[in-house]
Amino acid sequence: MMTKFIAKAYLWILLALLYSPILIIMIFSFTEAKVLGNWTGFSTKLYSSLFAGGVQRSLVSALGNTFAIAMIAATVSTILGSIAAIGIFNLRSRPRQIMNFTNAIPMMNADIITGVSLFLLFVSFGISQGFTTVVLAHIAFCTPYVVLSVMPRLKKMNSNVYEAALDLGATPFQALHKVILPEIRPGMISGFILAFTLSIDDFAVTIFTIGNEGLETLSTFIYADARKGGLTPELRPLSTIIFVTVLVLLIVINKRAEKSKSE
Amino acid sequence: MRRRNWTIPYALFLAVFVVTPLLLIVYYAFTDAEGAFSLANFRKFMVHPEAVNTFVYSIGIAIITTLACLVLGYPAAYILSNERFNTPKTMVVLFILPMWVNILIRTLATVALFDFLNLPLGEGALIFGMIYNFLPFMIYPIYNTLQKMDRSLIEAAQDLGANPFQVFMKTILPLSMPGVMSGIVMVFMPTVSTFAIAELLTMNNIKLFGTTVQENIYNGMWNYGAALSLIMLILIGVTILFTNEEDSASNEGGGVI
């Protein structure tokens, strides 16, 4: 009984510690003060000015870029990674080992090294950096995760079903569409979600590949903002919204997963 | 078309965007600005006390952070995975959730907390911020291995007369070693290679090695920056090799039992 109480208390204290910074931001998103920590009375002005545009246009455009990059990078990674997974699955053992090892490099490597290496690639070949280079860089570090989430589905699949479809007169394309695709779809979906969140979250690779022509993502915007000393007050409501959205989403996904397990 | 050929587009992509860039780091590290072979970049690092100190200091901070995350995270993972405590699954989500919040927002939130409590920004804030940022990366892999652990082994140990302490030391801890090792890699690597975070948490007073790399690249010192990156890459490679070896050794130990 006593150990149970101590265990529970420990978890709650740790959670309180983990969440106290974000709680402070949430609380102070409901006041107008420029400097965080000054309470000048309850107000939702920061929320309305966040959506009103105007002064905060650059923040909104940074948010738009972040989503556009994540959407393109996640989509391309999912297609490229799924095709690659089917290919790798059918390789002989030696080339398969080489592919698996190379595929693991971007996941094992530190973000800053990936960033520096891609920076050197682009400058060495005289490619001007901007939206395209950021998207290419994000595809490079997202695709390995797609390959890894599709691969287990292929391993679980009964390969005779594909052969049977061909024997029954399906073209290879039909067999792919009707047999393989439905089997690997859950892996593709979780790969896509993973790629999307990784891309949205990224800072280290983006900052090395974004160039200096004024393109901003949410991460580089916050970084530039923080270095200027003052944190734009509108970032408080924005962080709050992002945080609550992710929280609700994760809890819903988790509840659904638990429900489908018990059924 | 044979399906193994489907590997080709991704193989080409990896060659261009993963292998070539890494080779370029090596190329730039071992050449001077004119492109001639040179070891000057590494010599510069060796005789540059500030860079060496930053390197050693970064490793120190990373070790402290990793140990603190292990000490704080292991009990949490253990409690979360043990059915005796019957913690709801949502609790696990709450511990992993901060991983999905942008790292700069998390860092600025830490700065806000320290400002709010009137605590000075500096080394303390740096270590707190690192632990706060990377603790979930320690809890998650340990939780996963504990979760998958074969419970009958614990019961067997109990039946054979082990007391709770012995059960933990001789059964649970060795079985959870793979999780501990990947937790160590997942915390140590981002901590030792981080940049930007340290500046924000210490008001530019403390510099970590990642920042040194970034500054040199930004200031056009590509060759020196590449050499520093290569040094960091070697450090990361050694860490992975070291933890992998431990990993397989503990697996063999498990096999013998």
Strand partners, A42: A31
Q: Which of A80, A123, A231 lies nearest to residue B108, judging by beta carbons?
A: A231
What is the rounded average pLDDT of the residues A11-39?
83
More confidently predicted of B11 and B103: B11
Write down the pLDDT at residue A129. Answer: 92
Tell me the pTM.
0.86
For the record, the structure tokens of A15 come out as 């959670």
pLDDT greater than 50 at residue B248:
no
Which value does ipTM take for this structure? 0.85
pLDDT greater than 50 at residue B123:
yes
Q: Which residues of A touch B213 (CB under 8 A)?
A: 112, 116
- Rg over alpha carbons for chain A, rounded to the nearest Å, is 23
Cα–Cα dist B55/B58, whole Å: 5
Write down the pLDDT at residue A229. Answer: 66
Report how far apart, in Å, the C-alpha atoms of A248 and of each of A20, A241, A251, A253, B102 are: 18, 11, 5, 9, 16
Candidates A1, A117, A208: best to mutate against B (most CBs of B within 10 A) is: A117
Q: Which residues of B touch A223 (CB under 8 A)?
A: 104, 196
Write down the pLDDT at residue B251. Answer: 40
Number of other residues whose CB lies within 10 A of the CB of residue B120: 12
More confidently predicted of A49 and B252: A49
Write down the pLDDT at residue B59. Answer: 94
| Predicted confidence (pLDDT) per residue in B220-240, tens digit | 889 999 999 999 999 998 988
Task: Say if residue B244 is exposed, middle or buried (CB neighbours under 10 Å; 0-12, 13-18, 19+).
Answer: middle
Write down the pLDDT at residue B255. Answer: 30
Cα–Cα dist B164/B146, whole Å: 16
Q: Which of A86, A106, A197 lies nearest to residue B100, judging by beta carbons?
A: A197
Cα–Cα dist A31/A97, whole Å: 56
Candidates A89, A112, A143, A159: best to mutate against B (most CBs of B within 10 A) is: A112
Yes or no, beta carbons of B76 and A105 under 8 Å apart: no
Locate the chain B residue with the closest alpha carbon to A135.
B17
Answer left, alpha or beta for residue B122, where phi above 0 means left and psi between -120 and 50 means alpha: left
User: What is the CA B242 to chain-centroid distance, rounded?
Assistant: 13
| Predicted confidence (pLDDT) per residue in B36-73, tens digit | 888 888 998 888 888 899 999 999 999 999 999 999 99
Write down the pLDDT at residue B126. Answer: 92
Report how many Cβ contacts below 8 Å link chain A to chain B: 215
Chain B contact for A161 (CB, 8 A cutoff) = no
More confidently predicted of A261 and B106: B106
Q: Nearest-CA distance from A104 to chain B in Å?
A: 10
Yes or no, beta carbons of B11 and A91 under 8 Å apart: no
Chain B contact for A75 (CB, 8 A cutoff) = no
pLDDT greater than 80 at residue B200:
yes
Write down the pLDDT at residue A261. Answer: 61
DSSP secondary structure code for residue A31 in this structure: B
Q: Which of B112, B132, B233 lies nearest to residue A36, judging by beta carbons?
A: B112
Write down the pLDDT at residue A84. Answer: 95
pLDDT greater than 80 at residue A56:
no
Task: Say if residue A254 is exposed, middle or buried (CB neighbours under 10 Å; 0-12, 13-18, 19+).
Answer: middle
What is the rounded average pLDDT of the residues A120-140?
95
Q: In chain A, what percentage of residues exceed pLDDT 70?
A: 92
pLDDT greater than 60 at residue A263:
no
pLDDT greater than 70 at residue B250:
no
pLDDT greater than 50 at residue B89:
yes
* Contact yes or no for B58/B208 (Cβ under 8 A): yes
| Predicted confidence (pLDDT) per residue in A245-260, tens digit | 777 777 777 776 666 6
Cβ partners under 8 Å of residue A17, min gap 6: B132
| Predicted confidence (pLDDT) per residue in A179-218, tens digit | 889 989 988 988 898 898 889 889 999 999 998 888 999 8
Write down the pLDDT at residue A260. Answer: 64
What is the pLDDT confidence band of residue B201, given thresholds at 50, 70 and 90? confident
Q: Nearest-CA distance from B158 to chain A in Å?
A: 19
pLDDT greater than 70 at residue B178:
yes
Write down the pLDDT at residue A105. Answer: 92
